[in-house]
Structure formats: structure tokens, C-alpha cells
Amino acid sequence: MTELKLYHLPGACSRVTLTALEQVGVAYADELVNLMQGQQHSPEYRAINPRGKIPALVADGKLLSENGAILWWLHQTWPDAGLLPKADDRWSEAQILSDLFWISAGWHPAVRANMMPIRWTTGDPDPVRERGKQLVKPLFEAFDARLAGQPWWFGDAWSILDVYAYWNYTTAEQGQYDLGGLDHIADHRRRVEAWPAFQRALAREQAALKRAN
């Protein structure tokens, strides 16, 4: 059995990976990395993940970082967990990867400009936040339109990309992005929040917080 440990923080993008682990149903340990206190820069954490980011998954003592890579590895290792659709051929597999890259390398950084504008300027963060809002607007509108005809990212079946999309739009919302009028996203939000693995991930986050305090 692979020994797994996830480094994460409640509410951070590691919530997606945490939900994936819950969906897989495998045993894993977890440890909170307090980003607010700069723990990601500590020599102890850099020894675990030299990139200084969460999530970081340590599997049998070996590091795997980047949400997309962790999700892909979990999916490949436990293909029946339903994290992503099963591909019939190389082309469909590449299409799934394309969506995974898009959500983690396209949306995710755009949302960060919205949520943490101070990271992108040494001056006034307000124009950066405004620009962030402009950048994410078409992405959220396109997702809302996609959801008009289907409940989940890939159609009728839940996938971990639904949780990633949820993280993107709720994080933008925390960065003052108004999701008003995006009714399909509002419905999607309720569906994701009711998803059992997501609820277990939230409980796991709370447990980690309690241990850390």
C-alpha cells in the first residue's frame, strides 16, 4: 500500500486534491501548512517541497507537487474512482488533459490575480484586481453557458474538475468578483457542496485546523 501524506491549507487550492483523495477513498495523512505565517518558506517545508507551494503530496517518501499532476496520478492509479472520465484512446485522453491543464494553468492563475492582487504589483492593487475581474469574466460566463445543458463539467458525471471549477469561482468571489446572474454556476455550487467527498474534505480541513491550534 502506498503511504500518502498531503500538505495543505483549508480553503486553498489544495482543497481540490484533498477532495480527490477523499473520492479515491485511500488512507492518507495530512498536515497543515500555514501560508499566512509564511510556513511555505520555512527550511522545513522547503525540504519537503522546494517550490514552496501547496498542495504537495508525498507518496512513499517521494514528492509530487502541482494540483494537475497530483490529480492525474491519482486518476491513473485509481481509475475507478471517477476523478476524471475514462478515455477510450490517446486523443480523448489528451482532451481530458487539456481540460485539466486549462483549469489549473489557465483559470487558476487568472483567479489569483483577482484574489491576491498584491502579488502582482508593488503599487496600488485595486487596478490589478479590476483587471483580474475582467480576465475571469469570460471564463465564468463560458462555464455558466456550458452548465446550461449539463450538470457537471463533463456532462452527466461528476469529476474532480467540478471541484476545481468551484474553487476557481468561489475564490474569485472572495476576491470581490460578483457571481450574480450566473445561475447555472449557482446550481453547480449547490451540487458540489452536496457531494460527499467534498463534504468529507471540508471535515478533514477542519480537523487539521483543530490539530494545528
Residues that bind ligand GSH (CB under 6 A): 12-13, 35, 40, 52-55, 66-67, 104, 108
Q: Which is nearer to ligand GSH, 108 or 189 (CB)?
A: 108
Q: Give the three cell numbers for residue 34.
A: 500555514
Nearest to 36 by CA among 10, 18, 14, 57: 10
CB of 9 to ligand GSH, least distance (A): 7
What does the block give as the cell for 80?
475507478
Closest CB to ligand GSH among 35 and 87? Answer: 35
**Spatial distance between the Cα atoms of 59 and 57, rounded to a whole number of angstroms:** 6
Contact (CB, 8 A) for 61 and 19: no
Tell me how far, at minimum, the Cβ of 175 lies from ligand GSH, in Å: 12
Helix (H, G, I), strand (E, B) or coil at 7: strand
Nearest to 6 by CA among 205, 192, 196, 158: 205
CB 169 within 8 A of CB 179: yes
Pick the closer one to ligand GSH by CB: 106 or 155: 106
Residue 108 or 133: the one with the smaller Cβ distance to ligand GSH is 108
Shortest Cβ 40–ligand GSH spacing (Å): 5
Minimum CB distance to ligand GSH, residue 89 (Å): 27
